[in-house]
Amino acid sequence: MGTILKSLSAVRIFVGDLDRARRFYRDVLELREKSVAPEWAVFDLDGRDVILEVVADDDPERALVGRLLAVSFAVDDIDEVYRNLVTRGVSFPEPPAMQPWGGTLAFPHDPDGNILTLVGWRSQ
């Protein structure tokens, strides 16, 4: 019997200001915007959807905005990506750090405070 799950379909990110989030994911992270509506926007990342969903201030799900996302985004050269994003004004709590398992992680924050995880490898 094969696995039930075939592949990752989408990543959903909850935001407070959709226009500001769209500018960040489109202009800073350079994702291709596929579609947009008043409550959401969809971006393409290697054939998978990154979906931004706006949550109103009075919505009980507002607590989902500004949290660590439990998803990692692969990058080719983590040090170069880090430097590039810092020059674009992206906030990181600390520089990329080598992990015991061999990879390197960095945690940029989007404009809503959502914490992304970038994972890369260093040739050392």
Spelled out in words, what is the top-level CATH class assigned to the domain 10-57+64-120? alpha beta
**Whether residue 63 has pLDDT greater than 80:** yes
Distance, in Å, from the CA atom of 18 to the CA atom of 13, rounded to the nearest integer, reads 11
User: What is residue 9's predicted lDDT score, i.e. its pLDDT?
Assistant: 81
Q: What percent of the chain has pLDDT over 70?
A: 93
Distance, in Å, from the CA atom of 36 to the CA atom of 52, rounded to the nearest integer, reads 9
User: What is residue 71's predicted lDDT score, i.e. its pLDDT?
Assistant: 85
Identify the band that residue 53 occupies on the pLDDT scale cut at 50, 70 and 90.
very high
Task: Give mean pLDDT, residues 56-67.
Answer: 87
Question: Tens digit of pLDDT for each residue in 85-124?
Answer: 999 999 999 999 999 888 999 999 999 999 999 999 766 5
pTM: 0.83
Distance, in Å, from the CA atom of 54 to the CA atom of 104, rounded to the nearest integer, reads 31
The residue ranges of every structural domain in the chain are 10-57+64-120
Closest by Cα among 9, 93, 88, 21 to 48 = 9
| Average pLDDT across the chain, whole number | 90
User: What is residue 5's predicted lDDT score, i.e. its pLDDT?
Assistant: 60
For tokens 């061999």, the residue is 102
Distance, in Å, from the CA atom of 61 to the CA atom of 87, rounded to the nearest integer, reads 32
